[in-house]
Amino acid sequence: MADHYEVLGVSHDATPDEIKKAYRRLARELHPDVNPGAEASERFKEVTHAYDVLSDPRQREQYDLGGQGGFGGGQNFGGFGDIFETFFGAGQQSRGPRSRRERGQDALIRVEVGLDEVIFGTHRDIEVDTAVTCETCHGSCCQPGTSPVTCDICHGTGSIQRSVRSLLGNVMTSSPCGTCRGYGTVIATPCVTCQGQGRVRARRTVPVDIPAGVDTGVRLQMPGSGEAGPAGGPNGDLYLEIKVKNHEVFSRHGDDLLCTLEVSMTDAILGTTATIPALDGDVELELKAGLQSGEILTVKDRGVSRLRGTGRGDLKVGVQVITPTKLSSKERDLMHQFAASKKSPAPELSHFQQGIFARLRDRFLG
């Protein structure tokens, strides 16, 4: 078997940069797209394999210890971890070569929705920047028309066995193969699109149905919509964290919607009918004569749909009576006549009462 350093044309003390430069130069010469000959193809596989080993510090160290013949030799002593692995049957060989296919990572995206959208739920098409399966190699990691080759160091087992001298005598230890990283195979001709990863970064659209009743902080799980796994592995999950935008008129308390209705003094005295443009359509309110500031008018089943359960919350309307600050002379005369007819008592101290907004808050929230 050819020495990896000789294959790349570098010395045994070459720096990582020198190894990388040598590989790039040879890869440009021997790549099948540039040099389609069978001999060049075999050389390209050999060069790629040599670079895979020497570009990884751990693999290079193990290769240097094993020399051209691999990882044999009784002078390469392992640590106590190897000994315990052997005694307790935890060696790599007992498990066989590991699979390149792994599950993709989960992803978290924050989605902002309007208060009106959570009443009945909404649909969104979310743009996600994520890892997707490579369309060139379809997750195989290999250039089309090629396949992984059996590792010539571990012969497909994914592990290396060696004899270690210990206080208990010579014992056999097993450790992951540094050349194939425990896979048992080597990607001799990596896919040029994904660089042998089996996946690439791309933007894709994920359709999402956001259920009614969600609130800020709720997380929705979409199984299998996360990142694609390496080497064609299954996708992870996608989590959507909801944030409900503040509304200028309405606020939310649980499944109830809250708002404040300003009523003129005359309407509060005489009573009237008001039309409120709610989030899901107009609401007719009957304002009875003698309406007071701080009263709460409840409209049943016009709040937010319940996330868990059936039905909707209520719409609660807090009343604030507005006292006019500017009156015409005629209006002032009428108010004097009204006050004289009522014979209202003079102003006097009473029990402490909270301000209008504090009273509305307490009544809103029960």
151 assigned binding-site residue: yes
* Residue in this structure with the two tokens 């008129």, named with its chain if needed: 249
Taking only Cα atoms into account, the Rg of the chain, rounded to an integer number of angstroms, comes to 38
DSSP states along 191-209: -TTTTTSSEEEEEEEEEEE
Q: Which residue has the tokens 């800020």?
A: 216
Q: Is 82 within 8 Å of 164 (Cβ atoms)?
A: yes
User: How distant, in Å, are the alpha carbons of 99, 104, 309, 357 from that of 223?
Assistant: 22, 11, 23, 45
Q: What backbone torsions phi and psi does residue 128 show, to the nearest 5 degrees?
A: -120, 130
CA distance 187 to 200: 17
Residue environment code for 153-170, b if the CB has 16+ CB neighbours within 10 A, otherwise e: bbebbbbbbbebeeeeee
Known binder of ligand: residue 142? no
Which residue is associated with the tokens 């008001």?
274
Cα(260)–Cα(275) distance, rounded to whole angstroms? 13
Which residues face 61 on adjacent strands?
none
At 140 the three-state DSSP class reads coil
- 137 marked among binding-site residues: yes
134 labelled binding-site residue = yes
191 labeled part of a ligand binding site: yes
* Annotated binding-site residue? 259: no
Burial of residue 200, with CB atoms counted within 10 A of its CB: 0-12 exposed, 13-18 middle, 19 or more buried: middle
The token duo for 358 is 């504090």
d(Cα 354, Cα 360) in Å, to the nearest integer? 9
DSSP notation for 282-306: EEEEEE-TT--TT-EEEETT-SPBP
**Do the Cβ atoms of 20 and 52 come closer than 8 Å?**
no
Residue in the structure block whose two tokens are 């009875």:
288
Give the annotated binding-site residues: 134, 137, 151, 154, 177, 180, 191, 194
Give the annotated binding-site residues for Zn(2+): 134, 137, 151, 154, 177, 180, 191, 194
